[in-house]
């Protein structure tokens, strides 16, 4: 990474400029609000249009002015943007559990067991569908490597942040275009999650599967509450406590907490890599952990930090709202940078496989939700299951949005269950350890063994959900 500090500074300022423009556009264009598009996605699309791949090519084709041939974005800015997501994704994941009370496993299971079973079933099914597609079509017909079978889970369940964060892993296994395909799938998933989710909600209201409350049409009510921006679904509003009397700005201190979590994760990763090299990963051995990126271990580091704070009675030092602000800002930067440097050539050169992956992922997510949610979630199956469906389409915030639309008063208590569920979900899939390890696993073990393993896990979670939970017989 050979970029000057001034280039990094400029690149961050340019992202801020695109976010301001996107925010303004969102407040003026009704379609953006109706689609619940966040400003970061709009800003990333604008950056892509202003760059060499769109504006630059148009200027070249029309024999435009020389200064437009490379678009409006300097090469140094694009270079920084290409590296930024790999670094900032550790901030996002490190902040996931800092400032949150970590309950015991028994309490998590009692409250969120059905959500865990449903979410895990959908996630492992994405691997099964993707790997089957890779073995039957993507490899034999289009010549894509077996690791393409992981793209559905990385793009849909992992989302933009995970997709961009795994760029170096894709490059290590000679599949650099995998990052662009995953980012494209994440964008399709975000749009599809909102559009399909609102259709499901309206269908559920009309058929009585979702109870209509006094707020009227739930989709219209939600749109009226998000005229200027997305609802504060992830509590990204300002700090709830006044700390103006402290000697150090609280935001700086909370950046330090995130740094501690990342440092813990880095130490864990170094230790795991050393163990692997000394044991099974020796000469000509199986190398997995050396290809593992930092961000899933940073998430574990955040859990370790929070457990220490809880056990020592120092949990009040952390303001969860400030942590959310740091995480949210990092994710916004990631999305704009990743979409702004998205390779249209990589997607265009693999358009048919990309379309197959997108269609297969959407069909699985919708089908699994409609089939499994009412059979696994005992009460308010659709209101609560929509959270898992939205998350399976690319963003946790999409799941929260759909739950807020379907159940604005949280009568189902689904928000608590969904939050608890993340403690047994995100450390593994959706950007967790298995998501990060899936590419090296498939590359070194082969698609068939990983397909068998993920199929066993899919069956396990489906059977557990159907037999252990589900609606009670009358």
pLDDT digit string, tens, across residues 251-294 = 889 999 999 999 999 999 999 888 888 887 666 667 777 778 88
pLDDT at 242 over 60: no
Q: Which of 67, 89, 73 is nearest to 14 (CA)?
A: 73
Contact in structure between 350 and 358 (CB atoms under 8 Å): no
Does the pLDDT value for residue 13 go beyond 90?
yes
SS3 call for 173: coil
Q: Is residue 72 part of a domain?
A: no
What does the alpha-carbon distance between residue 47 and residue 14 come to, in Å, rounded to a whole number?
9
Domain-located, residue 442: yes
Q: Are 223 and 198 in contact (CB under 8 A)?
A: no
pLDDT grade for 24, boundaries at 50, 70 and 90: very high
pLDDT surpassing 80 at residue 315: yes
The pTM of the full predicted model, rounded to 2 decimals, is: 0.84
Which structural domain range is residue 422 located in? Answer: 94-238+327-468
The answer, yes or no, to whether residue 239 has pLDDT greater than 50, is: no
Residue found under tokens 């899939």: 429
Query: Does any domain span residue 233?
Result: yes
pLDDT confidence tier of residue 473, bands split at 50, 70 and 90: low
Residue 2 confidence (pLDDT) above 80: no
Per-residue model confidence (pLDDT) at position 309: 93
In this prediction, residue 451 carries a pLDDT of 97
Residue 395 confidence class, pLDDT cut points 50, 70, 90: confident
- Rounded Cα distance, 5 and 114, in Å: 48
pLDDT beyond 50 at 231: no
What is the pLDDT at residue 221? 55
Tokens of 207: 């058929």
Burial 423-445 (b: 16+ CB within 10 A, else e): bbbbbbbbbbbbbbbbbbbbbee
CB-count burial class (<10 Å; 0-12, 13-18, 19+) for 211: middle
Assess if residue 180 is contained within a domain.
Answer: yes
Using DSSP's 3-state secondary structure scheme, residue 139 falls into: helix
* In a domain? residue 296: no
467: part of which helix (H) or strand (E)?
helix 447-468
C-alpha distances out from residue 404 to 10, 116, 394, 401, Å? 37, 19, 17, 5
Q: Work out the average pLDDT over 325-336.
A: 90
In the prediction, which pLDDT does 215 show? 55
Kindly tell me the burial class for residue 360, based on how many C-beta atoms sit within 10 Å of its own C-beta (0-12, 13-18, 19 or more).
middle
User: Looking at the domain assignment, is residue 374 inside a domain?
Assistant: yes
**224 pLDDT more than 70:** no
What's the mean per-residue pLDDT of the chain? 86
Residue 170's pLDDT band (boundaries 50, 70, 90)? very high
pLDDT score for 373: 93
Confidence check: pLDDT of 238 > 60: no
Helix/strand/coil for 280: coil
Distances (CA, A) of 77 to 3, 41, 80, 233, 329: 9, 18, 5, 31, 18
* CA–CA distance, 51 with 48 (Å, rounded to integer): 5
- 399: in domain: yes
Residue 49 lies in a domain: no
Residue 185 CB-half CA count within 13 A: 39
Compute the distance between CA of residue 177 and CA of residue 167 in angstroms, rounded to an integer. 9
Confidence bin at 424 (pLDDT 50/70/90): confident
How many domains does the chain fold into? Answer: 1
């Amino acid at each position: 990474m050979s970029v000057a500090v001034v280039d990094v500074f400029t690149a961050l300022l340019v992202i801020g400029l695109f976010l301001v423009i996107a925010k303004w556009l969102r407040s003026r264009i009704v379609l953006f609000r109706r689609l619940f598009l966040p400003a970061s996605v709009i800003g990333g699309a604008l950056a892509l249009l202003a760059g060499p791949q769109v504006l630059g090519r148009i200027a070249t084709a029309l024999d435009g002015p020389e200064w437009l041939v490379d678009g409006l974005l300097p090469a140094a800015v694009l270079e920084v943007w290409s590296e930024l997501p790999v670094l900032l994704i550790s901030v996002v994941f490190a902040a996931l559990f800092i400032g949150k009370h970590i309950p015991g496993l028994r309490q998590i299971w009692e409250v969120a067991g059905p959500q865990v079973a449903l979410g895990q079933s959908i996630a492992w099914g994405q691997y099964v569908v993707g790997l089957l597609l890779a073995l039957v079509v993507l490899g034999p017909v289009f010549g894509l490597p077996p690791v393409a079978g992981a793209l559905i889970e990385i793009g849909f369940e992992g989302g933009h942040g995970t997709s961009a964060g795994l760029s170096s892993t894709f490059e290590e296994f000679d599949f650099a275009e995998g990052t662009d395909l995953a980012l494209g799938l994440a964008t399709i998933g975000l749009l599809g999650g909102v559009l399909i989710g609102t259709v499901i909600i309206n269908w559920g209201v009309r058929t009585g599967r979702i109870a209509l409350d006094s707020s009227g049409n739930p989709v219209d009510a939600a749109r009226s509450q998000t005229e200027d921006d997305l609802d504060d679904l992830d509590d990204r509003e300002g700090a709830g406590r006044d700390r103006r009397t402290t000697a150090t700005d609280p935001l700086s201190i909370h950046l330090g907490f995130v740094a501690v979590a990342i440092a813990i994760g880095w130490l864990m990763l170094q230790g795991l890599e050393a163990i692997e090299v000394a044991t099974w990963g020796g000469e000509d051995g199986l190398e997995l952990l050396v290809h593992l990126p930092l961000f899933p271990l940073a998430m574990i580091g955040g859990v370790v930090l929070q457990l220490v704070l809880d056990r020592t009675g120092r949990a009040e030092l952390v303001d969860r709202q400030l942590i959310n602000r740091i995480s949210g800002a990092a994710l916004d930067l990631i999305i704009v940078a990743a979409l702004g440097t998205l390779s249209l050539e990589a997607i265009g050169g693999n358009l048919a496989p990309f379309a197959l992956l997108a269609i297969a992922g959407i069909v699985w997510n919708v089908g699994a939700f409609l089939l499994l949610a009412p059979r696994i979630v005992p009460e308010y199956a659709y209101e609560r299951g929509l959270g898992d469906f939205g998350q399976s389409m690319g963003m946790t915030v999409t799941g929260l949005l759909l739950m807020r639309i379907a159940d604005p008063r949280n009568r189902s208590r689904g928000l608590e269950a969904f939050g608890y569920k993340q403690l047994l979900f995100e450390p593994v899939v959706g950007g967790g350890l298995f998501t990060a390890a899936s590419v090296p696993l498939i590359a070194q073990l082969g698609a068939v063994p990983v397909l068998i393993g993920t199929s066993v896990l899919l069956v396990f979670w489906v059977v557990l959900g159907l037999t252990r939970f589900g609606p009670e017989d009358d």
